[in-house]
C-alpha cells in the first residue's frame, strides 16, 4: 500500500478497471469561492493517488478528467454532493455514475445520527482514522506528511464500506431507493453551484 503524489494531473494507466473512490480538498466550503486544491482517487487495490492543483491552475487534467467522467466507471464518495460540485465547477466534468456512503448510511443506520466517515470506518470496518487535518490549509506550497496521510485515508476504505452498506441496503429493502438518490446527486450538486444550495425547491415554502 502506497500514497502517490502528483501535480496537476493523474499519470496515465495508474488505475485498474472498476469503481474508484474519490474525495476532494478545497480552501473552504463555498464551491464557487474556495478553490479545489487536491483530488484523491483510489481503485481499491491498495494505493491512493493525490493530485494537487496550484493556485494558478487551469485545471487541465485530461487523465483525471477522463477517469471521473467515464460513464462505465462507478465513483464512490462520502458526501458526494460537495465533491461532485467541486469537480464539476473546477474540472468541468460530471463524476457519474456515483455512490455516496453518507446517503447509504443515513438510509440504513437509522439507529444513529453519526454518519461521518470516521464513525462509519470504525463501526463497519473496525478501523480508525484521524480527522485532525480536516481543517488545515490545503492551498499551501507544500502538503506535509500528515495532510497526505489524511487525504489518502479519505478514499482508502470506501470500496469496503460500499460492500457492507450494500448488504444492509439489500437487507432493509432500500437498495432501489438509495440508487434513486445516487442518480439525483449530480443534479443536486449542479443546483448548489447555481445558487440553490440553501433552498429546498421541493418544499412548499
Angstrom distance (rounded) from CA 138 to CA 184: 29
Query: How many Å from the N-terminal Cα to the C-terminal Cα in the chain?
Result: 50
- How many domains, the chain? 1
Looking up residue 137, the CATH number of its domain turns out to be 3.30.420.10
Contact 44, 18 (CB under 8 A): yes
Write out pLDDT tens, residues 117-175.
999 999 999 998 877 666 789 999 899 999 999 999 999 999 999 999 999 999 999 99
Of 161, 189, 181, 162, residue with least CA distance to 94:
189
In terms of pLDDT, which residue wins out, 200 or 185? 185
Residue 205 lies in a domain: no
Q: CA 54 to CA 108: how far, in whole Å?
A: 39
Give yes or no for a contact between 26 and 73, defined as CB atoms under 8 angstroms apart. no
Cell of 136: 488545515
Q: Look at residue 203 and tell me if it is in a domain.
A: no
Please give the residue range of the domain that contains residue 46. 2-196
Within a domain: 124: yes
Which residues are CB-contacts of 4 (< 8 A; sequence separation ≥ 6)?
Answer: 14, 47, 48, 49, 50
How far is 109 from 113, CA to CA, in rounded Å? 8
The cell for 129 is 482514522
Task: Give tens-digit pLDDT for 70-96.
Answer: 999 999 999 999 999 999 999 999 999
How many residues are recorded in the chain?
A: 205
- pLDDT (0 to 100) of residue 130: 76
| Portion of the chain with pLDDT greater than 70, in percent | 99
Is 150:134 a contact under the CB 8 Å cutoff?
Answer: yes
Contacts of 122 (CB under 8 A, 6+ apart): 128
Looking at the domain assignment, is residue 58 inside a domain?
yes
Amino acid at each position: 500500500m502506497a500514497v502517490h503524489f502528483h501535480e496537476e494531473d493523474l499519470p496515465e494507466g495508474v488505475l485498474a478497471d472498476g469503481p474508484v473512490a474519490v474525495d476532494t480538498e478545497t480552501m473552504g466550503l463555498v464551491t464557487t469561492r474556495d478553490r479545489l486544491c487536491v483530488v484523491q482517487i483510489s481503485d481499491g487495490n491498495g494505493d491512493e493517488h493525490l493530485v494537487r492543483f496550484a493556485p494558478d491552475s487551469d485545471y487541465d487534467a485530461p487523465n483525471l478528467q477522463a477517469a471521473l467522467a467515464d460513464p462505465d466507471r462507478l465513483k464512490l464518495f462520502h458526501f458526494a454532493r460537495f465533491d461532485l460540485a467541486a469537480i464539476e465547477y473546477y474540472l468541468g466534468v460530471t463524476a457519474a455514475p456515483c455512490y455516496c456512503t453518507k446517503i447509504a448510511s443515513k438510509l440504513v443506520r437509522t439507529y444513529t445520527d453519526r454518519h461521518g466517515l470516521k464513525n462509519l470506518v470504525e463501526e463497519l470496518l473496525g478501523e480508525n482514522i484521524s480527522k485532525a487535518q480536516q481543517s488545515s490549509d490545503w492551498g499551501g506550497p507544500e502538503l506535509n506528511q500528515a495532510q497526505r496521510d489524511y487525504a489518502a485515508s479519505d478514499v482508502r476504505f470506501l470500496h469496503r464500506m460500499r460492500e457492507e452498506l450494500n448488504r444492509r441496503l439489500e437487507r432493509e429493502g432500500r437498495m432501489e431507493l438509495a440508487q434513486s438518490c445516487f442518480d439525483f446527486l449530480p443534479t443536486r450538486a449542479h443546483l448548489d453551484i447555481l445558487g440553490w444550495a440553501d433552498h429546498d425547491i421541493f418544499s412548499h415554502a
